[in-house]
Amino acid sequence: MSLTDKDKATVKAVWAKISKSADAIGADALSRMLVVYPQTKTYFSHWPDLGPNSASVKNHGKNVMGGIALAVSKIDDLTAGLLELSEQHAFQLRVDPANFKILSHCILVVIAGLFPKDFTPEAHVAVDKFFCGVSLALAERYR
């Protein structure tokens, strides 16, 4: 299910619309994930506060969206572009890759809520495919 040229163009267009709100999207998606999928909290036992107003959550949401921004810029070769992040997730963070799907879903929910008119089914399929590609690239170095 690789990205077609049309998918890439759609992803870039969506990103152009939403990137100004990237920090807010990241924070909301992450805090949503911690509430809707409580098992994900196991990765953040070192944070004092896991609530939506937590500085740790907001900061980390920003980091995640920074990674997405990087992925958009490397959309023609996600595996190569995200190699360093993959190594970080594989050897240090050791996040089970099943969670990439969970966070992707939460990001999609936030985008849909903030940009209901722009997040058409066509935009949705392109972004979903893109997140699948990003997740795959992030898992590249796991084993």
Partner 1 sequence: MVVWTDFERSTIQDIFSKMDYEVVGPAALTRCLIVYPWTQRYFGNFGNLYNAAAIMGNPMVAKHGTTILHGLDRGVKNMDDLKTTYAELSVLHSEKLHVDPDNFKLLSDCLTIVVAARFGEAFTAEVQAAFQKFLAVVVSSLGRQYH
The structure tokens listed for 130 are 């893109």
Q: Using N-to-C axis directions, what is the helix angle for 55-73 and 5-18, rounded to 10°?
A: 140
Residue closer to partner 1 (CB basis): 4 or 73: 4
**What are the angstrom distances between the C-alpha of 138 and each of 56, 101, 109, 133?**
22, 11, 21, 9
> With CB under 8 A as the contact rule, which of the stretches 7-15, 65-73, 119-127, 130-138 interacts with partner 1?
119-127
Binds partner 1 by CB under 8 A, chosen from 105, 132, 140, 142:
105
The structure tokens listed for 2 are 């690789």
Please state the closest distance from residue 35 (CB atom) to partner 1, in A: 4
**What are the angstrom distances between the C-alpha of 117 and each of 11, 69, 85, 112, 122?**
15, 22, 32, 8, 12
Is residue 24 within the footprint of partner 1 (CB under 8 A)? no
Please state the closest distance from residue 119 (CB atom) to partner 1, in A: 6
Give contact residues for partner 1 (rule: CB under 8 A): 28, 31-32, 34-36, 52, 105, 108-110, 112-114, 116, 119, 121-122, 124-125, 128
